[in-house]
Amino acid sequence: MTTPWGELALARFPEDPRDRLRAWDASDEYLLKHLAEREVPLSGSVVVLGDRWGALVTALAAYRPTQITDSYLAQEATRANLARNGVEAGAVGLLTTQDPPPERIDVLLVRVPKSLALLEDQLLRLAPAVHEDTVVVGTGMVKEIHTSTLKLFGRILGPTRTSLAEKKARLIFCTPKPSSEPSPKPAAGSPWPYSYALPDGIGPVSGRTVVNHAGVFCADRLDIGTRFFLGHLPVSEGAQRVVDLGCGNGVVGTAVALANPEAEVLFVDESFQAVASAEATYKANGVPGHAEFRVGDGLAGVPAGSVDLVLNNPPFHSHQATTDATARRMFADAERALRPGGELWVIGNRHLGYHVTLRRLFGNSHLVAGDPKFVVLKAVKR
């Protein structure tokens, strides 16, 4: 990546030689060019929200910025990219969306996330640290920036306008409200986390409470894929070790724990918001038994042959790109972690053809249930 501060070697995490997606895009380049051309002062507290693979903070490392991200993979990519480019350890602060935000922000750079709810939540959390002289610049591809995005900046921080498009990227300029018009505090009007009662007819979690932090998939309702999965979960008996892999708000793992109090359930996701949601959902329902909540890269760190059952609803997007890379890695993780005879159960859109990948990895794939849109598949570790 060519920046006003030199050339950078960047990669996504985990590195995959088959992955042709870059660790930056035109919106990152546009923002960095703007900062250099306008000579934006960067000597104060610089905060970068939503930096996807660490490209922005790596380029700005000399100014000791702080990165705030919801993604464990993005945070690990940032660590690797900083080291790859010879940046000293500690030069960049690494915070998650669940950590207390900085007390003062002089420059706020925002890589617009896919989730408008996550943007709202984080702007509300950061607003008290923004002052009337704070430079606020957002960036994203044209297709990622909508009228609702601009209204959100305007409502929470102050008057907002956009730049002309360049290489299908656009910048957002926001002027914070004067101190006589304080920005809203996070507790004032924030809908997050959001809780609701699950519908009836979905097994052990029928009528139960689900808690969603901002940015979690389908945070305001039960998505139809999960609902279908809940109706066809395997029976778990005895002291099984069960993994809700890519747990989201944890409703699937919570259903297993309610049905089998002897089960030990591991909830894992690469999203800090998701794991916080899963833990809140589990605790809100007073579930007996033992559970562990882990933010991480799939089942990395889980001993081989230590798991009896893995339940998985894999994503098929990486930001705006459609890819089955995440699903393939999740399935491979499961195959390694399962004991002989252990099972991986997957819910997916019918057209994704996960049965082919499962047969390649496990040597088998069984159709448990299906409808015109979804299939539930089972693969058994041999």
CA–CA gap between residue 244 and residue 279 (Å, rounded):
12
For the question of whether the overall pTM of this predicted structure is more than 0.85, the answer is yes
- pLDDT, averaged across the chain: 94
The distance in angstroms from the start CA to the end CA of the chain is 45
In tens, the pLDDT along 82-100 reads: 999 999 989 999 999 999 9
Average the pLDDT over 93-122 and give the result: 97
320 has a pLDDT exceeding 60? no
Cβ neighbours of residue 177 under 8 Å, at least 6 residues apart?
A: 132, 157, 158, 183
187 has a pLDDT exceeding 80? no
Are 244 and 265 in contact, with CB atoms under 8 Å apart?
yes
Q: How far are the Cα atoms of 145, 204, 223, 365 from residue 286, in angstroms, in the given order?
A: 40, 13, 23, 35
317 has a pLDDT exceeding 50? no
Question: How many H-runs (helices) and E-runs (strands) does the chain carry?
Answer: 10, 20
Give the pLDDT band (50/70/90) at residue 18: confident
Average the pLDDT over 137-155 and give the result: 97
Average the pLDDT over 293-319 and give the result: 90
319 has a pLDDT exceeding 90? no
Average the pLDDT over 28-54 and give the result: 97
Q: How many Å is the Cα radius of gyration of the chain?
A: 22
CA–CA gap between residue 367 and residue 377 (Å, rounded):
5
The pLDDT of residue 186: 44
The pLDDT of residue 17: 80
The pLDDT of residue 181: 57
In tens, the pLDDT along 260-293 reads: 999 999 999 999 999 999 999 999 999 988 999 9
189 has a pLDDT exceeding 70? no
The neighbour count for residue 234, using CB atoms within 10 Å, is 16
